[in-house]
Structure 1
Amino acid sequence: MNARLGLLQVCAAGVLWGTGGLVVTVLHERDGVGAMTVSAWRMLIAAVALVAFVQLTGRARAVRDTMRSHPVAAIVIGCGTAIYQGLYFVSVLMVGVSVATVVSLGLAPVLAAAWEHLRAGTRPTLRDVAVLTAALTGLVLISATAGHGTSAPGDRPVLGLVLAVAAGATYAATTVLGHVLAPRLEPVALTTCATGAGAVLLAPFLVVAAASGEPVAGTSPTSLALLLYLGIATMALSYGLLYAGLRTTSGSAATVATLVEPISAAALAAVLLGERLGAAGLVGAALILCAVVALRPEDERPVAA
């Protein structure tokens, strides 16, 4: 039961991430706020919210213990998360959201699974290959047919592809490292430390935006509410769920489970923007969901003799 709950927690994180893309698009169209500026606010708001939550719930000692026992790993996870966001957003501008999503999200489970099998000296089973194939096929179908966000490639597609590959590799690495740390640490403490490190890394983008005269943030109540939602729901809450789930879910399984993100994004676009996925998109969503259902948490995997 705990293992399945962990997998559901990872899926819930993916659902929340799927709502973030549309919010970033709305903020950009309403107020002209750049993607990296929004990412910096997202991390900063999440860090402040987590610190407040830690103080209110008496978890300050757990945060201090995390920084004493695993300072480098927690900072690497946080900085890796921030770097992944930046690489992904820039690649979207260069090659379009569909290509960037397929390359970055599709590469992550492949790299995570390859690393885990290499470290364990094992080979993937037919079940593992089938689950991964179904998930990646579904990702391609739903990304190719979804209309939300920009889909027009920029003038540097090769660099955009390189950045998308780097984003996928970074996402895989931080997820695998998170799986190593999660069973040893309190999830909220790990989330707080990692998010704080990411906020420090991205904070200079706010200074650069202000110095260059670009919009730093919207001033309307709606824009402020959207920023708060991004920080609290799609960062603080979602990553808390991710690290809680990673206690019983491997890095490779987690990267597959979070492929529900484009399903969530497509569903939200359908409700709010009236967009339709079409038959191919629906098949893609079904394949991803089937792959997630077929995943086996760690304590359900057969133990080698």
Structure 2
Amino acid sequence: MPTPPSPTPQLPLKKGISLRWLPIGFILLQSLLYGFGDPISKSAYEVLPVYSLLTARYGIALVFLLLLFGRRIFQGLRACSPKDWLLPSLCMGGAYVANNIALELTAATSVAFLRSLSTVMTPLLALAVYRRRMGKQHIPVQLVVILGLYLLCGQGGLSGFGWGELFSLLSALLLAGSLIFGEKALNRVDPLTLTALQTAASLGMAALCALFLDGGVHLAAATPTIWATIFYLALGCTVAGYLLQNAALGGLSSRTVALLQCTCPVMTAAFSYFLLGERLSTAGLVGAGIILACVVVETKMKEPE
């Protein structure tokens, strides 16, 4: 009689904990990449039109993905249908195009603050679309993190409300959509395939804006430093940033990912201080501390079954 196969060994508790921390680390790394990308983007927009820079950024990112992972991406595309990836792709593309338009129009710290309101919009959108309720234990954390965000950028640097702030709020809403629709899409779509599709959507939107609003793509004024910035934004913020988010959604809820992404304005504020001279008030520093404390509390909570 043949010997039955041995059961799959169970991971020890410490390894199980480390597996939960891995997607958390993905989002913290994404925040670090974006935190540096926001202020250098603002500097680059002083030289190049925003839509031209975005077209170059997303074009480079898409070419990189297809050259390295084209076969896997197309295999993943054949294994799913457009309804699986269309909404998260359009939302992600729209979110970061709107975000970068906002960076041209207002302070990087203000953009980071308003974009991070996706932490509030994500559970509300999940409730409206999927009737998914948030655990009561998470509500106080959500409320306190709003206070932290307000102190960080509302009292710490936000001044007035204009088109830049409006595009930042639009970016927050679309980012919330990319999280809740992306979380569902990843049940059928490979993260690398979804990343490529989201990059393609971003490229298409940026190119259309460049064509109709700027009369084409204009990159003649780009210096070697600007090109270095574009490559960082393409590979660090687009390829790595999108992929880190999609990988994290495989192990965390969209609500948790949205709250963890509140670390991005903290990173942006830090890099903006060193690169742009944008200073935070005492209230802003207190807000940053509150946000980090909320993130620590949230990471200690268990994900819903």
- TM-score, with normalisation over the residues of structure 1? 0.81
Match of 1:171 in 2: 175
User: CA offsets, 1:255-292, max 9 Å, x none?
Assistant: 11111111111111233345543422222111111111
Q: Is residue 90–residue 163 contact of structure 1 (8 Å, CA) maintained in 2?
A: yes
Offset, 1:229? 0.6
Q: Distance in 1 between matches of 2:148 and 2:105?
A: 23
Q: Is residue 10–residue 246 contact of structure 1 (8 Å, CA) maintained in 2?
A: no
SS of match in other structure, 2:251: coil
RMSD: 2.9
Listed as ranges, the gaps of 5+ residues in structure 1 are none
Match of 2:191 in 1: 187
Match of 1:71 in 2: 82
- AA of the residue aligned to 2:263: V
Offset, 1:115? 3.8
SS of match in other structure, 1:261: helix
- Structure 1 residues 68 and 23: CA distance shift in structure 2, 3 A: same
Offset, 1:90? 4.4
The percent identity for this pair of structures is 21
Offset, 1:188? 1.9
Q: Is residue 117–residue 124 contact of structure 1 (8 Å, CA) maintained in 2?
A: no
Q: Distance in 2 between matches of 1:141 and 1:250?
A: 26
Q: Distance in 2 between matches of 1:116 and 1:53?
A: 34
User: CA offsets, 1:33-74, max 9 Å, x none?
Assistant: 12233222222121111112214xxxx134332354133332
Q: Distance in 2 between matches of 1:218 and 1:232?
A: 21
Q: Distance in 2 between matches of 1:278 and 1:153?
A: 17
Q: Is residue 42–residue 103 contact of structure 2 (8 Å, CA) maintained in 1?
A: no
Q: Is residue 249–residue 297 contact of structure 1 (8 Å, CA) maintained in 2?
A: no
Match of 1:236 in 2: 239
Q: Which of 11, 20, 24 is the equivalent residue of 1:7?
A: 24
Q: Is residue 81–residue 198 contact of structure 1 (8 Å, CA) maintained in 2?
A: yes
Moved more, 176-185 or 239-248: 176-185
1:248 aligns with 2:251: yes
Match of 2:99 in 1: 88
- Structure 1 residues 2 and 27: CA distance shift in structure 2, 3 A: same
1:139 aligns with 2:149: yes
- Structure 1 residues 279 and 250: CA distance shift in structure 2, 3 A: same
Offset, 1:129? 1.5
- Structure 1 residues 176 and 238: CA distance shift in structure 2, 3 A: same
Offset, 1:132? 0.9
Match of 1:20 in 2: 37
User: CA offsets, 1:1-25, max 9 Å, x none?
Assistant: 2222112112211221122221211
Q: Is residue 93–residue 153 contact of structure 1 (8 Å, CA) maintained in 2?
A: no
Q: Distance in 1 between matches of 2:218 and 2:270?
A: 30
- Structure 1 residues 153 and 90: CA distance shift in structure 2, 3 A: farther
Match of 2:204 in 1: 200
Q: Is residue 37–residue 209 contact of structure 1 (8 Å, CA) maintained in 2?
A: no
- AA of the residue aligned to 1:25: K
Q: Which of 119, 124, 136 is the equivalent residue of 1:109?
A: 119
1:45 aligns with 2:55: no
Instruction: Give the structure with the higher percent helix.
Output: 1
- AA of the residue aligned to 2:179: T
Q: Which of 36, 43, 54 is the equivalent residue of 2:51?
A: 36
- Structure 1 residues 287 and 71: CA distance shift in structure 2, 3 A: same
Q: Which has the larger radius of gyration?
A: 2
- Structure 1 residues 241 and 230: CA distance shift in structure 2, 3 A: same
Q: Distance in 2 between matches of 1:121 and 1:22?
A: 36
Q: Distance in 1 between matches of 2:276 and 2:165?
A: 28
Q: Which of 132, 135, 139 is the equivalent residue of 1:129?
A: 139
Instruction: Give the length in aligned residue pairs.
Output: 287
- AA of the residue aligned to 2:52: T
Match of 1:282 in 2: 285
